[in-house]
């Protein structure tokens, strides 16, 4: 079973040279730590950064320079700063190549829910609805099973939706899944040591398994 | 040169009244108009509707106006990290309209551009779409559904910039630009507080982010705490 860093490492393999990438809060943020050194990507933060760098050294943090998670951050050489409307112009006009975000639920037709639990938790959607409505390629990083042992890969989402028919791939502690255009979670890879049986038990939505499914490689 | 300078926050905000709608710049605690928010607390104006990406934290930013129950309605995209906000929202004391962040920014921008509404795909098929017109539009060879979203109407926009000159021209610093730039163009009356107020001619016209025509009043903020919400660092 993969831990959070394991999920982030596996997603980092999806990042290609020359991509502009938006990373959501949580596991997606960790992906930045595992992008191979030969691969050049520019990280977009929707509060107005292209070319986001690592956290600042102690004592060098700047209250005016934060990322969308409100963390102090640095800029890489060649970075640019812009206002919030311009930032979502980049997103809406599909110049951001890859969006990686967390989810509470994903359905077999690619719907995603990640912003509200009615009566319990309402933090808001932030930029997630804009991102999922426009991004060409959306990968979700999430735990496949909740604390009560219930699957979060569902035939249909129970929670209020963030976007419909938009998720392309899901990476969980148990496996990697492609959302098929006709519906269904197609198992692409198993996490190390995870059996098909375990994956079947943890997937409430339609699971598609073709032939032998290899174990993923994460170092 | 048309002089936009007012003495201080007190003079700049003096005609803000109960029940008005205010845009308030900033993202999290970054780039918020600290001095104006402190002045609103002092004035005690009530039943405000605030359009702002976030609602501050319990003891800073717009959180201060929530503590004093001066806000009737918040229009925001993300409101986590604020216990008092959550309590007032779940108990029904506070009205909340959650708006996707890009839609929020663009609703401000469109107000500044003088465009009444615009189509966006964000929120189609979700509860954000409830009660809104949906149009199927073909754009760049692709046909999909768009929500028709309205430009915001606000009595005042209150923004914070790094430098400004006496004519109201503004320059923002780093990611403190965020919502300040679109909001500065969008208020019926725009108030800008700045860290440094300079003479006309001192700012390079090529570097101006917001032309002074959009700014009705400008003043130098008395002090800036610039609180950091999430201090994340690495070791040297």
DSSP result, B91-145: TTSSEEEE--HHHHHHHHHHHHHT--EEEE-TTTTSGGGTTS-EEEEEETTEEEE
Helix or strand holding residue A29 (H, E): helix A27-31
Q: Read off the pLDDT of each residue in A43-72 and give the average, rounded to a whole number.
A: 96
The answer to whether the CB atoms of A70 and B31 lie below 8 A apart is no
Burial B113-127 (b: 16+ CB within 10 A, else e): eeeeebbbbbbbbbe
- B104 touches B53 (CB < 8 A): yes
Taking only residues 205 to 224 of chain B, the set having a beta carbon closer than 8 angstroms to any beta carbon of chain A reads 209
Report residue B1's pLDDT band, with 50, 70 and 90 as the boundaries: confident
Cβ contacts from A onto B, under 8 A: 182
Checking if the pLDDT of A98 tops 80, the result is: yes
What is this model's ipTM?
0.97
Average model confidence (pLDDT) across chain B: 97
Checking if the pLDDT of A113 tops 80, the result is: yes
Q: Read off the pLDDT of each residue in B61-88 and give the average, rounded to a whole number.
A: 93
Residue of B nearest to A55 (CA): B233
The model's pTM is: 0.96
Quick check: helix, strand or coil at residue A112? strand
Q: Read off the pLDDT of each residue in B13-33 and give the average, rounded to a whole number.
A: 98
Checking if the pLDDT of B154 tops 90, the result is: yes
- Chain B contact for A90 (CB, 8 A cutoff): no
What homologous superfamily does CATH list for A4-208?
Glutaconate Coenzyme A-transferase (3.40.1080.10)
The answer to whether the CB atoms of A160 and B126 lie below 8 A apart is yes
CA–CA min distance B86, chain A (Å): 8
């Amino acid at each position: 079973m993969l831990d959070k860093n394991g999920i982030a490492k596996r997603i980092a393999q999806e990042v290609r040279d020359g991509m502009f990438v938006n990373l959501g809060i949580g596991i997606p943020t960790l992906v930045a730590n595992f992008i191979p050194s030969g691969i050049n990507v520019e990280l977009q933060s929707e509060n107005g950064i292209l070319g986001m760098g690592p956290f600042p050294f102690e004592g060098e943090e700047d209250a005016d320079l934060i990322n969308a998670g409100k963390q102090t951050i640095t800029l890489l050489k060649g970075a640019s700063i812009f206002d919030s409307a311009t930032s979502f112009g980049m997103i809406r006009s599909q110049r951001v190549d890859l969006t990686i975000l967390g989810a509470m639920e994903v359905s077999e037709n690619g719907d995603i829910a990640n912003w509200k639990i009615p009566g319990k938790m309402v933090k808001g959607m932030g930029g997630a609805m804009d991102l999922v409505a426009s991004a060409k390629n959306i990968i979700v990083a999430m735990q496949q099973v909740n604390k009560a042992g219930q699957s979060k890969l569902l035939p249909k989402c129970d929670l209020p939706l963030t976007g419909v028919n938009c998720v392309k791939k899901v990476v969980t502690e148990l496996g990697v899944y492609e959302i098929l255009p006709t519906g269904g979670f197609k198992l692409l890879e198993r996490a190390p040591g995870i059996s098909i049986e375990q994956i079947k038990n943890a997937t409430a939505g339609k699971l598609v398994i073709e032939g032998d499914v290899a174990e993923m490689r994460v170092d | 040169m048309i002089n936009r300078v007012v003495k201080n926050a007190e003079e700049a905000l003096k005609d803000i009244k109960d029940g008005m709608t205010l845009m308030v710049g900033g993202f999290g605690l970054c780039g918020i108009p600290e001095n104006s928010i402190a002045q609103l607390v002092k004035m005690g104006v009530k039943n405000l509707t605030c359009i702002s990406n976030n609602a501050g934290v319990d003891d800073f930013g717009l959180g201060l106006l929530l503590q004093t129950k001066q806000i009737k309605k918040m229009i925001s995209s993300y409101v986590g990290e604020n216990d008092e906000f959550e309590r007032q929202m779940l108990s029904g004391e506070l009205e909340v309209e959650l708006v996707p962040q890009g839609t929020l920014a663009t609703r401000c921008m469109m107000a500044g551009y003088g465009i009444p509404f615009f189509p966006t795909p964000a929120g189609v098929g979700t509860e954000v779409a409830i009660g809104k017109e949906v149009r199927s539009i073909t754009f760049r060879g692709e046909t999909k559904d768009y929500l028709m979203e309205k430009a915001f109407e606000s009595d005042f926009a209150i923004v914070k910039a790094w430098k400004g000159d006496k004519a109201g021209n503004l320059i923002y610093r780093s990611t403190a630009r965020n919502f300040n730039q679109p909001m500065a163009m969008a208020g019926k009356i725009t108030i800008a507080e700045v860290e440094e107020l300079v003479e006309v001619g001192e700012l390079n016209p090529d570097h101006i982010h917001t032309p002074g025509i959009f700014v009705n009043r400008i003043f130098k903020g008395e002090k800036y705490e610039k609180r950091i919400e999430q201090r994340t660092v690495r070791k040297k």
